[in-house]
Chain A
Amino acid sequence: MRTGWLKSVSKYSWIGYTAARSEWAYSAANVSRIIFMATVLYVFMRLWSVVYEGAGVERLGGLTEKQMLWYLVATESIIMSMPRLWYEVDHEVRTGAVAVQLIRPLSYIGAHFGRSTGERLVRFAINLVMGSLIATLFAGPIAFSLSGLAMFAMVLPMAFIIDFFGAMLVGLCAFWLESTQGIALIYSRLMMLLGGLMVPLEVYPDSVQPILRALPFAAILNAPGRMLVAPTFALFVQCLGLQALCLVVYGFGVFALHRYALRRVFVNGG
């Protein structure tokens, strides 16, 4: 039993490892992503600088200007590291390439999780290193505490898993819809606006903050962002609670949808 479990972990880990190597080998995409990220960070750094100056305050949403830039580094690194999972699933379903996956002794979700995680880790590492360099260069370093980094390291994998489940939910809709592009577009925009990508949730009006904090988008972006720049134990517990809830709800949604979707497989071609 234990051996079977270990074998499963080993095969999905190896998928992740292979995906990471493949991602690393595709250097052109990495370079273009770095350039894009540097541009975004620079623009928002200037923008926040004007906002802080105009408002004449030292802190916004509890963050200093320097912390705000480092917050952006974290959230941008997360969002730009997500592979286009929904597109891959959509493509596999529509072209019948799903057959290649289903013909192997693998879980469809597990295989995508391994692949997506492998790709994401490489992208995230590159993004974080480059983002940190840019932030250090233009704003200077901030003080990181060991406990804060530990909390960030615990919240981050949960954020990745929830994000994976979210993208998988969108992708699996391809079994019912002709194209998932519309849903994916709405989902990603909601994530950017309501997850705290460029503006931390603490900057939003007090009346909407409780709603935004209860959404899964916050568990993916705002939670790790805050943990990196302004960690507190109370916030950590709150974030972890929200993430656990999202994980259960999203996870259940994905497995239920996948189970139902497999009965709807129409494989064309050949």
Chain B
Amino acid sequence: MNRGVEIRDLRKKFALVRWQGFRRCVKHVTAVDGITLDVPAGQCVAFIGPNGAGKSTTIKILTGILHPSSGEVKVLGFTPWSERRKLAQHVGAVFGQRSQLWYHLPPNDTFELIARIYGLERGLYQQTRDALVDRFALGPLMDTPVRKLSLGQRMRAEVAASLLHRPKVLFLDEPTIGLDAIARQELRDLVREWNAREGITVFLTSHDAGDIEHVAGRVVVINHGRVVVDGPVAEVRRRYVSTRILRAQFQDPPRAVDVPGCVMRSQSAYEWVMEIDVTVTPVQEAIARLVEAGPIADIAVEDPPLERVITRIYREHAP
């Protein structure tokens, strides 16, 4: 099997040294506590968890920045911490709050520099750059100093820059932070498209449920340094929240009906939005009750927002 990332029983402990007067106190903090994970090449994984869960530490171990306390990791067949330079040729990273673009220069200059840093063959570099400029709509921005670009434009350039050396694994750390709704959606589409087109493995870390929903096919939730949930996004959503949203529009004002396990979220003269607990009342039964309320013009069954699923997972796995 062609594996992108293999992690076996990964552990990382930090020693925090504090001085109490002249006494040296060492406290050991476990950031990663036995993570085992396989990510096949080409998969797009959302790696999420509350602050301090250990996701950032894990990503830094995967990129070779940190040495683990124990465990095995192979990224594209390389051991990250001992083969950091070799691995760096094949991985890209976008840190939403840390730019790699030169602020006073146009993106073109950063692209040229990246081509030199990665030792890209000239023809291949130009071909990749043209493809990225075209797809990320960077044409008119390539000669504009980065300081004059909007945050959305800058992030597009940032992601394109990290794809320039055709990495096989891309780490995205909060890539949409601070972006407006349109820019966020644009960026998500681009990442998803590039993942499908180039078959790159994407590791996404984000607190934005929209990023996870639109970009990743699989979600791995970690808390206290351990994997607490791992599965396809849709499955995780269903597994963790037993409610569905029922949105019903009536032809005439509806009569009041009693649906057990149902909470009315919003109500107008012709429309009800209800959240039903399917373990109390199955969806079919709830719809049957609504039909009794009045003639239905339209009805929709929706999954609850991913945001709520994530909150529930975090709460369930809280200390």
Residues of A within 8 A of B (CB): 7, 10-11, 14-15, 18, 21-22, 25-26, 95-100, 102-106, 263, 265-270
Task: Among A15, A105, A106, A267, point to the contact of B65 (Cβ < 8 A).
Answer: A267
A98 to B100, CA, bound (A): 11
Contact present for A99 and B63 (CB under 8 Å): yes
Contact B105 A100 (CB under 8 A): no
Q: How large is the interface on B (under 10, 10 to 19, 20 to 34, 35 or more residues)?
A: 35 or more
Q: Could you say which of B88, B110, B117 has the most chain A C-beta atoms within 10 Å of its C-beta?
A: B117
With an 8 A cutoff between CB atoms, is B64 at the interface? yes
* A268 pairs with B113, CB closer than 8 A: no
Task: Please determine whether B98 and A99 come into contact, CB atoms closer than 8 angstroms.
Answer: yes
Complex A-B, nearest 9 residue pairs according to Cβ-Cβ distance, in ascending order = A270-B56, A14-B116, A105-B88, A25-B104, A270-B173, A22-B104, A102-B65, A18-B113, A267-B60
Given the interface contacts A22-B102, A270-B56, does A105 sit within 8 Å of B117 by beta carbon? yes
In the assembled complex, the Cα of A265 lies from the Cα of B68 at a distance in Å of: 11
Q: Are B55 and A100 in contact (CB under 8 A)?
A: no
Can you show 5 pairs from A to B with CB atoms below 8 A apart? A7-B119, A11-B116, A14-B117, A25-B105, A105-B89
Given contacts A11-B119, A22-B102, A99-B95, contact A270 B205 (CB under 8 A): yes
A92 to chain B, nearest CB (A): 9
A7 to B104, CA, bound (A): 26
The listed residue (A22, A95, A103) touching B88 by CB distance below 8 A is A103
The answer to whether B113 and A103 have CB atoms under 8 Å apart is no
Least CB distance from B220 to A in Å reads 15
A263 vs B69: C-alpha distance when bound (angstroms) = 11
> In the complex, A10 Cα to B14 Cα: how many Å?
38
Per DSSP, are chain B's interface residues mostly helix, strand or loop, or mixed? mixed
- Tell me which of A18, A26, A95, A104 has the highest count of chain B C-beta atoms within 10 A of its own C-beta: A104
With contacts A22-B103, A99-B63, A103-B65 known, is A269 near B88, CB below 8 A? no
* Chain A hits for B205, CB < 8 A: 270
User: At the interface, yes or no: B118 with Cβ under 8 Å from chain A?
Assistant: yes
Are B66 and A265 closer than 8 Å at their CB atoms?
yes
Contact of B119 with A18 in the complex, beta carbons under 8 Å: no
Which residue of B57, B89, B95, B102 is within 8 Å of A100 (Cβ)?
Answer: B95
* Set of chain B residues within 8 Å of A15, measured between Cβ atoms: 113, 117
In angstroms, how far is the closest chain A Cβ from the Cβ of B130?
20
Nearest residue, chain A, Cβ from B116: A14
User: How far apart are B80's CB and chain A's nearest CB, in angstroms?
Assistant: 10
| Docked complex Cα distance between A114 and B65 (Å) | 21
Residue of B nearest to A98 (CB): B65
**B67, CB-defined interface residue at 8 Å:** yes
Q: In the complex, what distance in Å separates the CA atom of A54 from the CA atom of B66?
A: 62
Give chain A residues whose Cβ lies under 8 Å from the Cβ of B173: 270
B93 touches A (CB below 8 Å): yes
Contact A100–B88 (Cβ < 8 Å): no
CA distance A15 to B105 in the complex (A): 13
Give bound CA distance, A265 to B57, whole Å: 10
Cβ of B221 to closest chain A Cβ, rounded Å: 15
State whether the Cβ of B74 lies closer than 8 Å to any Cβ in chain A. Answer: no
Identity of the chain A residue whose Cβ is nearest the Cβ of B66 in the assembled complex = A265
* Contact of A105 (CB < 8 Å), options: B55, B85, B105, B113: B85
Complex CA gap A223/B204 in Å reads 53
Q: With an 8 A cutoff between CB atoms, is B97 at the interface?
A: yes
- What's the least CB distance linking A164 to chain B, in Å? 20
Q: Which residue of A lies closest to B105 (CB)?
A: A22
On whether the beta carbons of B104 and A269 are closer than 8 Å, the reply is no
Contacts of A266 in B (CB 8 A): 14
Q: In the assembly, what is the distance between CA of A270 and CA of B47, in Å?
A: 11
A53 vs B292: C-alpha distance when bound (angstroms):
108
Interface residues of B in 135-152 (CB under 8 A from A): 145
Let me know if B109 is at the binding interface, CB within 8 A. Answer: yes
Q: Which residues of B are found within 8 Å of A100, using beta-carbon distances?
A: 93, 95, 98, 100
* Residue ID in chain A nearest B59 by CB atoms: A270
* Nearest neighbor of B29 in chain A, beta-carbon distance: A266
Q: Which B residues from 66 to 106 make CB contacts under 8 A with A?
A: 66-67, 84-86, 88-89, 91, 93, 95, 97-98, 100, 102-105
Instruction: Report if A265-B116 is in contact (Cβ < 8 Å); known contacts: A97-B98, A100-B95.
Output: no
CA distance A143 to B116 in the complex (A): 43
Name which residue of chain B comes closest to A14, CB basis: B116
Decide yes or no whether B174 CB sits under 8 A from chain A.
Answer: yes
Q: Which residues of chain B are within 8 angstroms of A106 by Cβ–Cβ distance? A: 88, 117
